[in-house]
Amino acid sequence: MNLNESDKQLLGKVEELSGENAFSCYQCGKCSAGCPFTEEMDLLPNQVIRKVQMGDASVLEAETPWICASCLSCEVDCPKGNDVPAIMEAIREISLRENFDEVNLNELDASDLPEIALVSNLRKKTG
């Protein structure tokens, strides 16, 4: 596969932040088969990794990394032991570094939310 410089940059950033080798994924799909949140996702977890392998920056606009609950089910199921949630986290970090906040806490109706949900949103979804 021939990647241009910007493709390589995204791939390199994700690999650096996650500590994972994206190409150790061979797209068997077991991570997606066992993920409990795929119905809410716009890309399956293995599709997220495929986009990272291709350096496809559209992955930064996907909902899936924000839906991922870091439950580790995919990592347990992966025959290569790939840390998929770390890749999701790296994608979130790259988005947040571009000053993009997934939620605006000032606009959030917090009346019915437990405090832990607010703290979690603050840590995970804002830069």
Select the residue interacting with ligand SF4 from 46, 47, 55, 59 (CB under 6 A).
Answer: 46
Q: Map the footprint of ligand SF4 across residues 66-85, applying CB under 6 A.
A: 68-74, 77-78, 80, 82, 84-85
In the complex, the smallest distance separating the C-beta of residue 56 from ligand SF4, rounded to whole angstroms, is 16
Binding mask 88-107 for ligand SF4 (x = CB under 6 A): x-------------------
Which tokens go with 27?
A: 């797209």
In the complex, the smallest distance separating the C-beta of residue 94 from ligand SF4, rounded to whole angstroms, is 17
Cβ proximity to ligand SF4, 79 vs 106, nearer residue: 79
Select the residue interacting with ligand SF4 from 6, 8, 12, 26 (CB under 6 A).
Answer: 26
User: Which string of DSSP letters, residue by residue, matches the chain?
Assistant: ----HHHHHHHHHHHHHH---GGG-----HHHHH-TTGGG-SS-HHHHHHHHHHT-GGGGG-SHHHH-----HHHHH-TT---HHHHHHHHHHHHHHTT--S--GGGS--TTS-HHHHHHHHHHH--
In the complex, the smallest distance separating the C-beta of residue 105 from ligand SF4, rounded to whole angstroms, is 23
What is the amino acid identity at position 27?
Answer: Q
C-alpha to C-alpha distance for 64 and 67, rounded to whole angstroms: 5
> What residue ranges bind ligand SF4 (CB under 6 A)?
25-31, 35, 37, 45-46, 49, 68-74, 77-78, 80, 82, 84-85, 88
